[in-house]
Structure 1
Amino acid sequence: MSSINFLGAASGLPLDELVSTFVNVERQTKMARIEKTNTTLNASLSGVGQLRSALSNFLDATKKLSGENLKARSVSITQPEEGKTFIQATAKNTASAASFDVMVNQLAKGSRIESSDNLFSSADAVVSSTDGELTFEAGDKSFTVAVTAGMTLNQLRLSINESAQNFGVNANILNTGGTAGTKLVLTSNVTGQGNDLVIRNNNAELDNLSTVATATSPGLNLVAAAQNAIIELDGILITSATNTFENAVQDISITVLNETPLGKNARLAVSTDKKAVEENLQAFIKSYNDLVDKTASLTRNRILGADGTVTLDSGALSGDSLPRNILNQIRGILGSEIADAPEQLKGLFALGITLDKAGKLEISTSTEFSSETGKMRFDRALTDNYDDLAKLFGGENGVVSKLDALISEYNKPGGIIQNRQDNLQARLKENTKASEAASRYLTSFEDSLRKRYAALDTLLGQMQRQQASVNAALSSLPGFNVKKSS
C-alpha cells in the first residue's frame, strides 16, 4: 500500500474515493470467479465425501447378510428353578432345530489330596532337611517345585501356589486344633475321571509330601477322585471330562453349572433365528434407501419459483453422473438372479423384496398387481427356505460378494472416488494459488493507481497555487479587477 494517507489533499479532489472505487471494481472482477470456483469445489468435495460415506454404510449393512449371519440359530433355555442357572448352551449355524430335556446328574470335579493326620505339627514345621523336587501331575499336565533344605510347610504352600507353571493346583494349610493336627490340602482343577492329582519326588525325605513314595510310604492321600460330568438328554446318559459338553448334540455346546433338582429337568430348545435375520434384512433395505435419498439430494437440480427466485439450491454433485452411475450398477445387482442360489430363491424378488416407484426397496403388502404380496413371499422364505438365504446372499457369486466387489472398487484407497477427491483437492490448491496471485495483483494495482493519482494530485495542487498567485498579481494592478469564478 502507498504511504500517502490523504490522497487529494493537495487538489481537494476525492481521489482516494476514486482509487478505492477502481480497486473494488477490479477486485470484484478478479475475485468473484475465484470465490465461486472455490465454493463449487468445496461443495463437490463435501458431496463426494458424503457419497463415499453413504456407500460405506450400505456396504456395512450388506456384509451383515453374509452366509453365516443368515443362518443364525436361537437358543432358549428353561431352567428348572427361577433365580438359578443350571445349564447354558450355544449353537453353531449348522445345528438342527431341536429341543431336549436336560438332567444334570453330576458336575465334573478335580481331585483332592490331604496329608495324613498329625504328619505336621504346625505351618512352621520343616518339611525337609535336604534339597529336592516335587513333581505335580494331572492328566497330561505337570509342573515341578523345588524344595530347599529347611523349607517350612507354609513356605512350600506359597511356592506351589506361586509357581509360574502351576496348571491349577491350590495348596492350603488347615490348622485343625484337634487330634488331626496341621494338614496340607491340595486340590486340582483338572477334571475328569482318571485325571487325579499325582505328586512324585526325587528325594525319599519328601515322601511325606507325595502321593507316590520313593522309599517307604507316601504321606499324602487321595480323598476325592476327579470325576466326569454326567447328564441325561431325553433319558440318554452322556459323560464329559469337563463341565462343557461339545457336540453331545451335534453343533451344540452345553455347559452345566449345577445339578438339577430331583424330578426337575432343564429344557433346551434350538431354532432358526428368524428375528435376527429379519432385522438384518430390514437394516439392509433401510441402508439402500438412505443411499437412494442421498444420491437424489446430491444430484438434484436447482428449483426456481414462479417469480424466478431460487426455492431449492442444486445438490453438491448436480450434473455429475458418478452417483447415478453407481446407483444404477447397484440396482443391476439387486435385480439380477444368483446362479448358485437354489431354484426357489434365485433373487430378491423371490424373497419378497422389490423396488417401488421411487426406486427404493420394500417388502410390499400390496395386492395391486398380484394376490401374493412381497410380505407373503418374505415370510415363506424365512419359514421354508431359511438356510437357502445364505446361498442367495453369501457365497462366491452371492449378492454380498457382488456388492462388495462393486462398492470396494469405488471406495478403496486409490479407487475412483479417492481419485476424484484427490483431483478436487488439487484444484482447490490451484484455486488458492490463483486467489493469492490475485491478491498480490490487486495490491500492486492499488499502489500503481495511488502513485499515478498522487502525481496528478501534486500537479493539480501546483496549478491551483500558480493560478492563485497570478490572480493575486493581477488584482494588485491599478484599475484591474479579477472576476472570481463561481
Structure 2
Amino acid sequence: MAISTLGSGIDIPSLVSQLVAAERAPVENRIARGETAAKTQLSAIGALKGAFSGLKTALDKLRKEDGTNARITNVPEKAGFTATAATSAAVGEYDIEVVSLATAHKLTSAGKPAETKIGTGKLIIEAGDEKIEVEIKEGRNTMADIRSAINAAAAGKGVSASLVNADDGQHLVLTANDTGTEGKLRITTTGGDGGLSALVYDPGVQTSMTETVKAADAKVVVDGMERTSSSNNITDLLPGVTLTLKEAKPDETFTLKVSTDDAALKTTLQSFISAYNTAIGLTKSVTAYNAETKTSSALTGDSMVRGLQAQLRTMASENVVALKDLGVKINTDGTLTLNTADMTKALAEDPGALSRLFGGEEGYGAKLEDMLGSVLEDNGLFDSRSDSLNARLKTYNTQYEDLDRRMESLKTRYTAQFTAMEQMVTQLQGSSGFLAQQLGSL
C-alpha cells in the first residue's frame, strides 16, 4: 500500500514494518527456541533408539546357541574324512578309521547297436523304498528311448539312467541314487514281447544286466567301536558332529578334535561389548552438562535416559564376577573391556561359562533382553517419547500460523492509524497555509 509522505514526511510502510517486526521478534524467538529444542531432543531419541537396537542385535547373537557354544573341528590332512560340529557337539577327541566307503549300485546292459529295438512291455525298477514302473511301447524302444522313459518315470528318485557308447555297442547304465545296500537295484519285467528281459536284474532268478558296482555300506570305527552306514555322510554317530567320508583308509587311525571356537566367540562377545559401550556412551553424552561453558545437552536431566543408563550399569554390576571370570572388565565410566587372553583361558577351563551368562531364561542375558525389548517395542519408551515430541512440533507450527495472523492484523491496525494521522497532518498543514495567506494579506 503506497501512502503519501508529503504531510508528516514519515515513511509509514517502513515504520509499520519495523513496529510489527519488533512486536513479532520475542514471540517468534520463543517459538523457535522451543522448536529447536524439540527437534534436537527428537534427534537424540532417534540416536538412542538406534544404539539400543544395535545392542539388542548383538545380544541376540549371544543368546543363540551358536553365539555362545560355537564349535570347531580339526581333522588331519588325508584322513579320509571331514567333519563339522554343531553347537550341541561335545568338546573332545575321537580316534577314527574309515574302513570302507558306501557305494551306489550300478548295472550295465549288454552292448547293442544304437538303432536296435529292445522290446516292449513294462520295466519294474525297485530302488530301496522306491518302486518305479516304466511303460515301453513299440516304436519307442531303443536304448535311448528306454533311457529317457526311465528318467521321466523316476523323476530324480531311486535311479538314474544313462548311455555309454562302447566299441561293442550302446550300453544302458542304471545307477542307484542312494548309496549303500538300502539303495540296491532290482529290475523285473511284465507283459510285452519279452525283449525287455535283456534288462532284467533279479539275483537268484534272472540276471541279464551286469553288476559293475556293488551296493555297499560304509564302515567306520570310532574309538574301537564299529559302525556301518548306507551313506558317506553320517550325522548320528557322534551327537552334533557330521562325518563326511571321502576315502577308505583301512588300518589307519586319525584323531578328530572338537573344541570351542574361541575366535567366533571372541568376535561375538566383542561385538556385544562395542554395542554396549555405544549405548552407555550415548546415554551419557545426551544428558551431559558442561559446567565451564554452562551448556546443556539435548536431554540434560532427562529422567528416562538416566533411568536406562542406571539399569544397564546395575545389571552389569550384579554380574561383575561372572563377567570378570570371562575376561570382561567393568570400567569406572560404566563401559566394558574384553581381555581376550583371559577369555580363552576361561573357556578352556569352563566351555559353558559364556552360555550360562547370556543364555537361559534367568541370567544376565535374559534380563537384559527383557529390558531392551520393553524400551524398543512398539509404543515403548522411545516410541512414546518420539510421539510426544512430534506432537509438540505440530503445536509450534500452529503457533507460527497464529503469530502470522496476529501480525497481519497488527500491521493493518498500525497502517490505518498512521494513515489517519497523516491525513490529519495534511489537513492541519492546509489550514495553516490558508491562515498564513490571510495574515499576509492583512
- CA 1:77–1:269: 2 relative to 1, 3 Å: same
- CA 1:218–1:16: 2 relative to 1, 3 Å: same
2: CA distance, partners of 1:168 / 1:268? 33
Structure 1 or 2: larger helix share?
2
- Summarize the alignment of residues 198-347 of structure 1 with structure 2, pairs less than 5 Å apart: 198-205=186-193, 207-208=196-197, 210-211=199-200, 219-233=208-222, 237-260=226-249, 267-305=255-293, 313-336=295-318, 347=322
Equivalent residue letter for 2:146? L
Which residue among 107, 127, 148 is the counterpart of 1:158? 148
SS at match of 2:312: helix
Deviations 1:1-25 (A, max 9, x none): xxx1456477532212111111211
Does residue 90 (structure 1) correspond to residue 65 (structure 2)? The answer is: no
Q: Give the match for residue 175 of structure 2.
A: 187
Q: Give the match for residue 53 of structure 1.
A: 50
SS at match of 2:178: coil
Q: Give the match for residue 372 of structure 2.
A: 407
Q: Give the match for residue 139 of structure 1.
A: 128
Residue 324 (structure 1) shift = 1.5
- CA 1:202–1:329: 2 relative to 1, 3 Å: same
- CA 1:92–1:464: 2 relative to 1, 3 Å: same
Equivalent residue letter for 2:395? E
Does residue 438 (structure 1) correspond to residue 403 (structure 2)? The answer is: yes
SS at match of 2:28: helix
Residue 254 (structure 1) shift = 0.8
Deviations 1:168-212 (A, max 9, x none): 533222232x3x322211212211124212234442436346435
Residue 390 (structure 1) shift = 1.7
CA contact (8 A) 1:190 1:226 kept: no
CA contact (8 A) 1:143 1:165 kept: no
Identify which range, 285-294 or 320-329, moves more after superposition.
285-294
Task: Output the TM-score relative to the length of structure 2.
Answer: 0.86
2: CA distance, partners of 1:200 / 1:271? 51
Does residue 17 (structure 1) correspond to residue 6 (structure 2)? The answer is: no
Percent identity of equivalent pairs: 28
Q: Give the match for residue 353 of structure 2.
A: 388
Q: Give the match for residue 428 of structure 1.
A: 393
Q: Unmatched 5+ residue regions in structure 1? A: 338-344, 365-373, 481-486
Equivalent residue letter for 2:43? S
Residue 314 (structure 1) shift = 2.3
Deviations 1:208-237 (A, max 9, x none): 464358xx9565443322222233446654
2: CA distance, partners of 1:26 / 1:164? 90
2: CA distance, partners of 1:48 / 1:108? 61
- CA 1:471–1:329: 2 relative to 1, 3 Å: same
SS at match of 1:99: strand
Residue 155 (structure 1) shift = 3.1
Residue 161 (structure 1) shift = 2.9
CA contact (8 A) 1:200 1:212 kept: yes
- CA 1:27–1:258: 2 relative to 1, 3 Å: farther
Does residue 348 (structure 1) correspond to residue 323 (structure 2)? The answer is: yes
Residue 463 (structure 1) shift = 4.6
- Aligned residues, how many? 437
1: CA distance, partners of 2:390 / 2:338? 42
Which residue among 152, 174, 177 is the counterpart of 2:164? 174
Q: Unmatched 5+ residue regions in structure 2? A: none
CA contact (8 A) 2:315 2:364 kept: yes
Equivalent residue letter for 2:21? N
2: CA distance, partners of 1:149 / 1:473? 141
